[in-house]
Amino acid sequence: MTDLSQIKDDLVTANRVLAYHHVVDSFGHVSMRNPENPNHFFLSRARAPNCVEIGDITEFTHEGKTVGHEPGKPYSERFIHGAVYEARPDVMAVVHNHSPNVVPFTVQSRRKFRPIMHMCAPIGTDIPTWDIANKFGATNLLVTNMDMGRDLAKTLGPRTVALMRGHGSVVAGKSLRDVVFTSIYMEINAEMLIKAYQLGDGDIVPMSDEEVAANTKGRAGFTYERGWENWCRLVNRPYYPSTWEMGPGFSKTDKSGL
């Protein structure tokens, strides 16, 4: 395959992997920026992630207009993706989900959503909740135009994750593997955190800002590959190896070679 079709094939895989891990079910979606044109992004037509095939991948402008191939109706909420790509040149991939253990955090403010396990560090220690009602009043809670998308992207700011009240979350990443990784471990962290709050009666030790920074800095190619190879196998999809570099934060005490 050419590079671009391999990229689209990886996007299909990302859909299946997120469905396998229950981050998305029949709803929710994952996109990636077109590496050859930063003003466009790739996203499936409106289809359940588990059913998405390479022919469903559509190219969009940030404003959600189809470019070229039109395999069918687009997701009504593609504006979530476009608005994040518009506001964040550093973001290369976006997931929108209704992750089942994350949603409970979006409808209450007594217990904060925080990372408690190192794999989940990239969600960060400052996770805002966007409430569509604040600016748009009584809606069906869906982000169906650029105004809404831009308001959500503003709440997201420079962060990795913004929760969406009564809905789910948006996750931004520096690569497709990164955003899938963060989404999966965000769900795992949420389930662990609910139990930790229960055991501790709310008194828990989340990761500190410094620990989160050290983890995020040190998250490199070999970590993503370990997950990605496994996930490809679990959903019966081809595995295209990617870079296996160590990253700037990789522990210098590890002297053994590759």
Determine, following the binding rule CB under 8 A, whether residue 150 of this chain makes contact with a second copy.
no
74 binds a second copy (CB under 8 A): yes
Exposure class string for 51-71: b at 16+ Cβ within 10 A, else e: ebeeebbbbbebebeeeeeee
Rounded Cα distance between 164 and 160, Å, is 13
Distance CA 202, CA 111 (A): 7
* One of 67, 174, 214, 242 touching a second copy (CB under 8 A): 214
Q: Do 68 and 40 meet the contact criterion of CB atoms below 8 Å apart?
A: no
User: How many residues sit close enough to a second copy to count as binding (CB under 8 A)?
Assistant: 86
Give the C-alpha separation, 64 to 222, whole Å: 34
Contact with a second copy (CB under 8 A) among 38, 54, 226, 245: 226
The β-bridge relationship of strands 161-164 and 129-130 is parallel
Question: Which of 59, 63, 77, 86 is the catalytic position?
Answer: 77
Q: Which stretch binds a second copy (CB under 8 A): 5-13, 115-123, 150-158, 171-179?
A: 115-123
Residues in 1-20 that interact with a second copy by CB under 8 A: none
* Nearer residue to a second copy within complex by CB, 5 or 22: 22
One residue of 37, 53, 157, 191 binding a second copy per CB under 8 A: 191
253 binds a second copy (CB under 8 A): yes
Tell me which of 39, 135, 174, 249 binds a second copy, using CB under 8 A. Answer: 249
- Per CB under 8 A, 67 contacts a second copy: no
Name the β-bridge partners of 96. Answer: 29, 170
Could you say whether residue 71 binds a second copy (CB under 8 A)? Answer: no
238 touches a second copy (CB under 8 A)? no
CB count in 10 Å sphere of residue 213: 15
Catalytic site includes residue 77: yes
Q: Is 132 helix (H, G, I), strand (E, B) or coil?
A: helix
The set of catalytic residues is: 77
